[in-house]
Amino acid sequence: MENSCLLILAMNCFFAVYSAQTDQEALVAFKSRITFDPQNILAKNWSTGASVCNWIGVSCGVQHNRVTTLNLSNFELEGTVAPHLGNLTFLRSLDISFNRFRGVIPDELARLHRLEEIILASNNFNGNVPSWFGNLPKLEHMLLNYNSFTGIIPEHIGNLTSLESLDLKYNKLTGTIPFSIFNISSLQIIEFTNNSLHGRIPAFICDNLPKLEGLYLSLNQLSGKIPSNLYKCKALQHLSVSYNQIDGRIPREIGELTMLKRLYLGGNNFEGGIPVEIGNLTHLEILSIRDCSIMPEIPSFVFNMSSLKLIDFANSTLSGSIPPDLHYSLHNLEQLFLQYNKLTGQIFSSILECKRLRVLNLENNHFTGGIPKQVGNLTSLEYLYLNNNNLTGELPAELGDLNLVEINLIGNDLFGSIPPSIFNISTMTRLQLSSNHFVGQLPSNIGLSLPNLQTFHIRNNDFQGVIPSSIANASKLTVISMNGNLLTGPVPDLGNLQLLQRLMIGGNNLTEESPNKELKFVSSLTNCRYLETVEISLNQFNGILPASIGNLSSSLRNFRAFGCNIKGPIPSEIGNLSSLESIDLDSNKLTGFIPSSLGKLNLEAIYLEHNRLSGYIPPDLCQLSKLGDLYLNENMLNGTIPACLGELKSLRRVFLHSNRLTSTVPNFWSLSDIWGLNLSSNLLSGYIPSEIQNLKAIRFLDLSRNQFSGKIPSSIGNILSVVDLSLAHNQFQGPIPQSLGDLRGLESLDLSYNNFSGTIPKSLEVLKYLQYFDVSHNRLQGEIPTGGCFANFTAQSFMQNDGLCGADRLRVPPCKTQTVQISRSKHVFRLLKYVVAPILSVILGAAIIFLLIRSQKLSKKPPHTEISLGTEWRRVSYQELVQATDDFSEINLLGSGSFGSVFKGTFSDGLFVAVKVFNSQLERAIKSFEVKCE
């Protein structure tokens, strides 16, 4: 017996050691799949020389000394999950959330039958949610949220009879919600927010969920109605179905959920208003019905719900005003969101006593009046958004007594100076005062008194004075927007603002400290490693761009400095700004060449117009495959336009006018998406090809003041989008195409100073939008059209065309008195002379033939035979005479006399005849015909 006990003890010790070894091997395999361990926790602590039970994140059971818990949450680990974890058969809790694990969940984890919770939230897992989860009988908490799982929710999850929490939010799941889930009576939390689930919420949803506390179905594609049996979920505290496609009425039964604390219904297609029964929810803290259009004004019962801490009716087409007694019942209100509505009246009269209010968002409404000094009573207020209303007056100094974090007053009619106390709110992170009428100077210590400032917006006001150098001490600044003020003096050194992303100081009167020298503040920006936008346009810097511009942030996307009196060359180092998408240096005094290094960038827009640049257009620009806008006009560029520019399908606007460019036009005619092309005022030659019809999107086309020649192809009538077309001051010739009348959207057409001939097409009369028309200085002739748009044009449009005629107001000769009647008379006369007369002559000749034939037949008749009244005489048509005489050919001419000619004819039956054709224009010829007939 004693030996047996010793044997059993030895065997237990053996298996315990063996099992512990298995757990260690599984965890070592798991560690081997970790590709990134930034804190070196596993590398330093998970040593095979120590017991796994002492490893960080590992817990073991007392009885068997086996691993029961693995918790590596928030270690920033990267890698995949080793299938060896399936060997931790005593594991009850697995938590590797808030890391960067990727890949699929290994099927080997299906062996973890003791697992009670699996928490994989906030990783990069993908693939399907494994159906074998339904085979883990003890599972209570299944949290797979914030990953990239796809496919459907497995039906087998309905087998987890002990499940309490099911969290699959923020994945990419599709399909319908398995109805079996709503039969798990132990469920307390169902969380499916932000997937692509569709279908209806089952009508029996709460029949078997007595413990359900949270139902989260927002941000999906669910349809149908909210089931009325929700009232059976008596324990429900949180209900969120916002942003689906749910319709119908909001069920009044929601008012029976007496434990409800949070209700989110916004972004659906409800109808019929908000049921008053919601006012019975005495524990409700959050009521959010934003982005709906089911209520004309704020429901009155809302203001009696004293438990409410948050009200959100944003973007719900509300009108009317905020009730003045709002604060009497809503003394617990902390957050009020009524933005993007049509609310009117004054604001603060009704909310000044809501002492717990932390967030007030009333932006984009129609509120009027001022901000009273009693605003200082809102001692809990942290976030104030009143932008885009009609507020007036000055800012009360009492605003400075609050611990504001953000204040947005953009787009009102506020005026006066900013109280100094506002610039002393040390908690302020966003100060946005743009688009008002504020005046005064910025305090010299602004950067010291606002140490937490991140966003500073004061654009479009009337601030004066200098930009304080202390602003560089606000080291957390990411956005500075001071455009459109009256600021003067130099820009201070901003190198200490290492987090700065956007600098916008254009439209002021800023200068450089030393004229004609490099812009120092630009060099200081090289320390701002996150810089994305620099906007310094419309100032008077009068300096030179430093070569250090090439050392600006590699994330810089936009550099705008137009109208700044900048001189000198464009530094070639600008080609180092690898992320640059737009460069705007127009309207300066830049000289030298366009740097070929621009071709190395990812530019989408180049604006270098109105400068003094010279040399060639670099062919390197053809490497900019995303280039949409190219503005090089009004410089001194010469040479040819690079042919390869015609291959940049991304081009939308090309403005090269007012340079000295030569040669023919590149193949711009194949750019079907280009909508603006201006090549005017150069030395370009050649002709317009028929391929111009490929410019399907063109709206503005100006080829004027060049040396183009040839005819305008009729295919120009296919550029149907064109609005402005100018071909003036060239050497075009031939007729104006009739097809121009097909350009129904045309507003301006200039064909002046060419060699066009022929008439002005009447087809242009249908161009009802044509406002400007000029065909002066050509060789046109004929009558000027009078219909449609031509009734509005003046003599300026037609001058110096010697052959034109028309109305006196156009200062051209009249086409002739009673032109229409005379024209018609001449037409009739010509008709009689050239058509009717010959036909009549032929008819007379036919009559003679008829009489001759009759005479012959009579001579052959016996004397006693009487002529029958029913005898049919042969009729001869004009067409038969034409055929018989071979169209009165000279070969068949027998002779000519004073009054006509005689032709030989042969009918189809062989009968020979003589046909005399009289000249019916001669009076004596008619008499001669009558004699012949007698």
CA atoms within 13 A on the CB side of 752: 14
CA angle 259, 260, 262 (to 5 degrees): 150
Strands (E), 241-379: 245-248, 262-264, 269-270, 286-288, 310-312, 319-320, 335-337, 342-343, 359-361
Stated as kind and residue range, the H or E segment containing 929 is helix 923-933
Distance of CA 753 to CAs 309, 733, 801, 802, Å? 75, 10, 10, 13
* Both tokens assigned to 219: 């941000």
* 662 and 684 Cβ atoms separated by less than 8 Å: yes
What DSSP letter does each residue of 90-123 carry, written as one string? T--EEE--SSEEEEPPPGGGGG-TT--EEE--SS
Average pLDDT, integer, range 842-862: 43
Q: State yes or no: 927 annotated in a binding site.
A: yes
Given a cut of 70, is residue 934 above it in pLDDT? no
614 bridge partner residues: 636
Contact status, residue 157 vs residue 133, Cβ threshold 8 Å: yes
- The per-residue pLDDT of the chain, averaged, comes to 89
pLDDT category at 918 given cuts 50, 70, 90 is low
What is the pTM for the complete model shown?
A: 0.80
Question: In the prediction, which pLDDT does 824 show?
Answer: 45
> 622, 599 in Cβ contact below 8 A?
yes
Whether 411 is covered by a domain: the verdict is no
Both tokens assigned to 466: 């200098």
Q: What is the mean pLDDT of residues 188-192?
A: 98
| Percent of the chain surpassing pLDDT 70 | 86
Reduce the DSSP state of residue 67 to 3 states and report it: strand
Residue 335's SS3 state is strand
In the chain, what percentage of residues exceed pLDDT 90?
A: 78
Residues 323/299, Cβ–Cβ less than 8 Å:
no
Query: pLDDT at position 911, please?
Result: 64
pLDDT of residue 387: 98
3-state SS, 679-718, equals CCCCCCEECCCHHHHHCCCCCEEECCCCEEEECCCHHHHH
> Does the structure show a pLDDT above 60 at 405?
yes
Question: How long is the chain?
Answer: 934
pLDDT at 559 over 50: yes
Residue 846 is assigned to a structural domain of this protein: yes
The DSSP secondary-structure symbol of 309 reads: S
500-520: pLDDT as tens digits: 999 999 999 999 877 778 999
Give Cα separations from 542 to 354, 566, 574 (angstroms): 54, 5, 19
pLDDT tens per residue, range 220-247 = 999 999 999 999 999 999 999 999 999 9
Identify residue 214 by its one-letter amino acid code: G
What DSSP character marks residue 763?
Answer: G
More confident residue, 615 or 13: 615
The DSSP letter of residue 784 is: P
Beta bridge partners of 269: 247
Predicted confidence band at 303 (pLDDT cuts at 50, 70, 90)?
confident
| Contact present, 774 and 752 (Cβ < 8 Å) | yes
**Where is pLDDT greater, at 280 or 818?**
280
Alpha carbons 582 and 628: distance in angstroms, whole number: 10
Tokens 């438990």 belong to residue: 307
* In contact, 167 and 142? CB cutoff 8 Å: yes
Residue 845 lies in a domain: yes
How far, in Å, CA of 933 to CA of 848, rounded?
A: 6
> How much is the average pLDDT of 729-746?
96
Whether residue 878 is contained in a domain is answered as yes
Mean pLDDT of 562-589: 97
CA 68 vs CA 94, 98, 113: distances in Å: 9, 20, 12
The per-residue pLDDT for 25 is 95
For residues 591 and 40, give the distance between their C-alpha atoms in angstroms, rounded to a whole number. 56
Which of residues 666 and 678 earns the better pLDDT score? 678
Assess if residue 52 is contained within a domain. Answer: no
> Is there a domain that residue 515 lies in?
no
In whole angstroms, give the CA distance from residue 610 to residue 636: 10
Question: SS3 sequence, 161-181?
Answer: CCCCEEECCCCEECCCCCHHH
920 lies in a domain?
Answer: yes
Element (H, E) at 503: strand 502-504
Pairing of strands 286-288, 262-264: parallel
Q: Containing domain of residue 909, as a range?
A: 833-857+873-933
Alpha helices in 421-547, H assignment, sequence order: 446-449, 520-524
Give the confidence band of 872 by pLDDT, cuts at 50, 70, 90.
Answer: very low
Provide the number of structural domains found in the chain: 1
CATH of the domain at 923: 3.30.200.20
Of 476-490, 733-747, 841-855, minimum mean pLDDT range? 841-855
pLDDT tens readout for residues 314-369: 999 999 988 777 667 888 999 999 999 999 998 877 787 788 999 999 999 999 99
| Cα distance between residue 797 and residue 777, in whole Å | 9
Within 13 A of 478's CA, how many CA atoms are on the CB side? Answer: 6
pLDDT at 827 over 60: no
Cα 842 from Cα 175, distance rounded (Å): 90
Q: What is the pLDDT of residue 324?
A: 75
Helix (H, G, I), strand (E, B) or coil at 553: coil
For residue 843, is it within any domain?
Answer: yes
Quote the pLDDT of residue 902: 73
